[in-house]
Amino acid sequence: MTDPRAAPTETRQLDPLAKDITGGRFTLFDLYRASVTSGGGAVIEGRTFTDCTIEGPALMLVLEGTHFEGVNFGPTGGDMRGMLFRSLNGKTAIGAIPVRDCTFRNCQFFSLGITGADQLLNALVEQVRTVD
């Protein structure tokens, strides 16, 4: 679901290696950078995000095992395709922030683009209801 009127939540410090993150507001890039510098590797992996506001600007590379449950994808202008991106070579997404085996539950996204396998992108276009 997308809804630009969602209420903001408070920005807070978080443990960049935590497996379960509940609440708070943070940028995807800040989480990624903190995770890498803390030894978490180059992929945000095996995490559950609940009731978080996750901001860009950033491009999220959605890899296997990642699920979206009740996520508000943010303003789309009524067309989910405006936030989805495909790699022109179909193999790499240089500059995107990879997430694998993550669950995003009741989160809100703002200014996040999404890329990944064609199957994922097509499913998002077909299944995500836009409000704006």
Beta-carbon contacts of 78 under 8 Å, excluding residues fewer than 6 positions away, are 130, 132
Is pLDDT above 80 for 132?
A: no
**pTM for the model:** 0.88
Structural domain spans, the chain: 20-127
Q: ∠28-34-39 over CA atoms, to 5°? A: 125
The torsion angles phi and psi of 34, rounded to 5 degrees, stand at -65, -40
User: DSSP letters of 42-70?
Assistant: SSEES-EEES-EEEEEEEEEE-TT-EEES
pLDDT in tens, 50-104: 999 999 999 999 999 999 999 999 988 888 999 999 999 888 899 999 999 999 9
